[in-house]
Structure 1
Amino acid sequence: MVLSVVIPCYNEEPNLDDLFTRLITVLDQLHLTYEIICVDDGSRDHTLKRLIEYHHSNPMIKVVNFSRNFGKEIALTAGIEYAKGDAVIPIDADLQDPPELIQDLILKWQDGYDVVYCKRRSRQGETWLKQKTAGAFYRIISKMTPVPIPRDTGDFRLMDRRVVEALKLLPERHRFMKGLFSWVGFKQIAIEYDRPPRSKGETKWNYWQLWNFALDGITSFSSLPLKVWSYIGLLISLLAFIYATFLILRTLILGIDVPGYASIMVVTLFLGGVQLVSLGVIGEYLSRVHDEVKRRPLYIVRDCYGFEKDTHKN
């Protein structure tokens, strides 16, 4: 097997016809042996039924069916673990990742690069707010982590088998795949493209999910949010010491002054807020430690179509 294409699917029934038409046309033109691994992430529409029909009509299309919805990052992980190709390409089912770029990815791979990732030159069909928040996230995480995570880059990329085997060694539960792709290293290069809007259907990501996704990325690749509270506490203590010194000197010079109730309440509420925020940050990290130590499997597969019986299942 030369090439494996991994497609996480969640309620993508409207996009499947166009997806497979364009994808198979591109793959057939490459004259390479390939497989298409579709991971159904607990879809509630007829996505699984359509995937099975496509598998029966084309054995190169293989299906992994989860027992429930585990999330896109886990579905992507499962597809990578099931892939057998010398090169693996994750791609979205909504056609925002143009299959026609696969040929360019393979050419760069043949030039000797281990990872060829696609960098978005523009993001069509997305709101102004989503584009700005995405840009802010990439700027923030690039300053907080020593791992160089490319900006405006999704999961659409080609990975050599050596990279895939390295990724399979990473067992963490909260998986920020963009960060993991960068963390493993290897020889990487980018190609730019204009990302089109979704072909059909609606995005599965709302702003709350994107917020949690951003937290996963930051907590997975940076301990700065934990460390910063030591410096904030030190700064507040220094300011309190300076203010206490000022009060002592003023009392010695001018006599006793009756303190104001408002100023005491402001200081009390401010310090209480700082403490609660710091506890919240600690809680975010602690909850992830709690998930890790339970050692539950990343996903549970209900059934598979197109794989040998000894295929690995997590």
Structure 2
Amino acid sequence: MQTISLIVPCYNEEPSIQLFYDAVSAVFKTINADTDRYQPEYLFVNDGSSDKTLPILKDLQAQHPETVHYLSFSRNFGKEAALACGLDASTGDLVAVMDVDLQDPPELLPKMINLIENEGYDCVGTIQKARRGQGRIRAFLSSKFYNVIDAISEVRIEPNARDYRLMTRQMVNTITSLPEYNRFSKGIFAWVGYKTTYLTYESQPRAAGNSHWSFMQLFNYAIDGIVDFSDAPLKIATWIGGLSCVLAVFGLLFVFIRALAVGDAVAGWPSMVSIILLLGGIQLFSLGILGEYISKIYLETKHRPKYIVKEKK
């Protein structure tokens, strides 16, 4: 019998955990209806939750000690750290990444297994057609983010792709071998390559609770993704700076010729001040882009761990 590791990040998800376990267990009963093919290995990663998530995980593990395991962080490190922790701890022949809120339908698992077993794929990802409960502005910005990152990145990231996917052990070993501290999993999954296909499904509502992602967190996540997988912002800053210099030279020539022709050195000072402010703004913008990359280098060079596991079982 082979093992499928299920990596499930949890942050304040106490109402969803039992619902998730029951739903996935029912799917595995279907998978093993004829013969015992796969045994699940549940790897719940408690990302510093402040509610009763950890006690519930402990109770669930005590009820199912052979299949349910948990890893609890010393504090909240973020979903990317939780995914990295789960991948590091997984031992299954196949490894799935899933959200505990059941927006990732576990009913897709049999089809994903079939594609890997019979079609030779190394990874089966998922794409959500639309997101229920997401405002139009957020949905629009999310769509544009994928357009931007696909245009400037060296790898293609499928629009509206979810973290929900099933991968072979070989692919997971490759991902865990990447030592980087700053992680954008969707980009990493695409960067390592391997034969990948995607399943599309209709948006599913949360089983319980509310989303913990704020608009600002999503915005920062998008910035991290762009910075981690493209140097295009640096090139854009270079081109903007070069264009500004060219415009400044033409401006100086205009002022010089105008002074010779008219002889009025006072007129036009408001436009000159505006130009100075514009150039100063461009410089600060360019420095901000450079600072983002330097901050990433700074974090990498400190060699701090991506997460700290306080307890596990």
TM-score (norm 1): 0.94
Match of 2:212 in 1: 204
TM-score (norm 2): 0.94
Deviates more, 1:95-104 or 1:228-237: 228-237
Amino acid at match of 1:42: G
Match of 1:26 in 2: 27
CA deviation vs aligned residue, 1:87-135 (integer Å, no higher than 9, x gap)? 1000001111011111111111112100110011121222212211111
CA deviation vs aligned residue, 1:182-234 (integer Å, no higher than 9, x gap)? 00000011110012121111111001111111111011001111121211111
2:84 to 56, 77, 81: 77
1:294 to 276, 298, 302: 302
Amino acid at match of 1:80: L
Whether 1:180 and 2:188 are equivalent positions in the alignment is yes
Deviation at 1:251, TM superposition (A): 4.2
User: Are the aligned partners of 1:125 and 1:198 in contact in 2 as well (CA < 8 Å)?
Assistant: no
SS at match of 1:14: coil
Equivalent residues, number:
304
Match of 2:107 in 1: 100
Match of 1:226 in 2: 234
User: Are the aligned partners of 2:237 and 2:289 in contact in 1 as well (CA < 8 Å)?
Assistant: no
Task: State the alpha-carbon separation in 1 of the partners of residues 252 and 233 from structure 2.
Answer: 29
Deviation at 1:76, TM superposition (A): 0.8
Task: State the alpha-carbon separation in 2 of the partners of residues 249 and 266 from structure 1.
Answer: 20
Structural RMSD (CA): 1.3
Whether 1:57 and 2:63 are equivalent positions in the alignment is yes
Amino acid at match of 2:158: P
Match of 1:192 in 2: 200
Deviates more, 1:176-185 or 1:283-292: 283-292
SS at match of 1:13: coil
User: Are the aligned partners of 1:125 and 1:196 in contact in 2 as well (CA < 8 Å)?
Assistant: no
SS at match of 1:156: strand
Q: Any gaps of 5 or more consecutive residues in structure 2?
A: 33-37
Deviates more, 1:282-291 or 1:26-35: 26-35
Whether 1:9 and 2:38 are equivalent positions in the alignment is no
Q: Any gaps of 5 or more consecutive residues in structure 1?
A: 306-314
Equivalent positions of 1:113-128 (< 5 A) are 113-128=121-136
SS at match of 1:124: coil
Match of 1:216 in 2: 224
Whether 1:137 and 2:145 are equivalent positions in the alignment is yes
CA deviation vs aligned residue, 1:127-167 (integer Å, no higher than 9, x gap)? 21221111111111111111111111010011111110110
Match of 1:45 in 2: 51
Task: State the alpha-carbon separation in 2 of the partners of residues 2 and 153 from structure 1.
Answer: 25
2:290 to 282, 291, 305: 282
Amino acid at match of 1:220: D
Match of 1:309 in 2: none
Amino acid at match of 1:36: Y
1:88 to 72, 78, 95: 95
Match of 2:35 in 1: none
Task: State the alpha-carbon separation in 2 of the partners of residues 158 and 205 from structure 1.
Answer: 24
Amino acid at match of 2:81: I
